Amino acid sequence: MTTLSPLESRSLSTGLAQRTLKNLDFIKQAFACGEDVHLITQTVNSLLGLLVFPVEREAQFFRPLQSVSLDPPEKIQALHKSLPGFPPLPSLVLTRFEDCGNLGRFLKRLRNAIAHRRLDFSNDSRDLDEVLITMRDGLGQGGLAAWEIIISAADLEKLSRYIASSVIENNV
């Protein structure tokens, strides 16, 4: 469980990130106790709060991440070794990866997929480990998405927590 105190103003990205983690922890705990809650929905909603709302106002979130190269794209699988706190994402499959040469661009593409609801769930399970989410952004050749990934809901939750921690630690 994440310990966050005191909470900053929800008008700040840091305060929103703190509350997002708090809500995610609450839903996760309720799910573990057998409550009728939707952890995967909360994970996606968390990313809405973390990537879409603050980033629309605060583009500086992406700036430092632009220096983290993803060339070749498979580099993202090893980021947890070189970028403090970045989680391993073993389920991540890079289906299409156009115009995504750095981590800032990757998160911007992720943000677009969520903001424009370009995502599909593999099933209706409530278990994070059982659901794969296909996320898409942009139009590429032949009308296909220019960027498409598949990631487990469990790995997406880890990525959400990394983003929240980055927002809080970097005070963006």
pLDDT digits (tens, 9 = 90+) for 81-120: 999 999 999 999 999 999 999 999 999 999 999 989 999 9
Query: Which is it for strands 93-97 and 119-121: parallel, antiparallel or unpaired?
Result: unpaired
pLDDT on residue 150: 98
Residue 46 to residue 16: CA distance in whole angstroms: 10
Residue 107 to residue 36: CA distance in whole angstroms: 31
Query: What's the rounded mean pLDDT across residues 111-131?
Result: 94
75 vs 58, residue with greater confidence: 75
pLDDT on residue 4: 43
68, pLDDT greater than 90: yes
Kindly state the tokens that stand for 39: 């952890």
Kind plus residue range of the DSSP H or E element containing 95: strand 93-97
5 vs 151, residue with greater confidence: 151
DSSP 51: I
How much is the pTM?
A: 0.87
pLDDT on residue 64: 84
Tens digit of each residue's pLDDT (9 = 90 or more) over 141-152: 777 899 999 999
Instruction: Tell me the domain boundaries of the chain.
Output: 13-170
Work out the burial of residue 57: count CB atoms within 10 Å of its CB; fewer than 13 is exposed, 13-18 middle, 19 or more buried: exposed
54, pLDDT greater than 70: no
Nearest to 28 by CA among 38, 20, 19, 18: 38
**Neighbour tally for 36: CB within 10 Å:** 7
